[in-house]
Copies of this chain bind each other. A is one copy, B any other.
């Protein structure tokens, strides 16, 4: 696989995606592991010269997850000088098995536009990119060290997600179409990093009139079966 050619991309400009999923009560994000180095990074990409920014991000998301129609939100653009670390980037590119000229475009300084995505963990079909051995889920609570300033990017994404949680009612995007109140509460708790009161949460969300109540879910457990809900269109 040859190194990407500069001519089709906007120079100095990239995006990074913080892709959130929810499974087994934990909030998780997708990370890529680069060849040979083992370095971990956010899935990202470049913007084609004739492509909308948001389209570029959606293209990247589709390539990694196989999904379209993903909830997507821009949260910050990172543009400090400290971001540029050509030596690290050169190592990554060389580990891919190619000689890298000193003036190769990917070694330049990059401005990165951060987006976060919320999707249904179960629907994802993971595919690594050309520079990576693997892409996998990592718990947000116990993230390993990331390359470049990607730790900072994740923290900013998480902060924005928390601030937007109530205002934009986005918690449901991490769940399947139908879910129980308890599952929805778990999503809120995982995002906020704190326990919520069951009764207050239920009262609050029902009072918003954004949920539709469906049939009960019989799990086989010996207790009252919860209703399934979905978000109104």
Contact = CB atoms under 8 A, between A and B. Distances in A.
A107 interface: no
Nearest to A76: B74
Interface string A87-115: 00000000000000000000001010100
Interface size class of A (residues with CB under 8 A): 20 to 34
A196 to B, nearest CB: 20
A10 B10 CA distance: 11
Contacts of A79: 47, 52-54, 113
A7 to B, nearest CB: 14
Interface string A73-88: 0101111110000000
Nearest to A49: B109
A9 to B, nearest CB: 10
A211 interface: no
A58 B108 CA distance: 23
Given A80-B52, A81-B50, A81-B52, A111 B10 contact: yes
A51 interface: yes
A163 B167 CA distance: 9
Contacts of A128: none
Contacts of A51: 81
Interface in A2-23: 10-13
Contacts of A109: 10, 49
A117 to B, nearest CB: 16
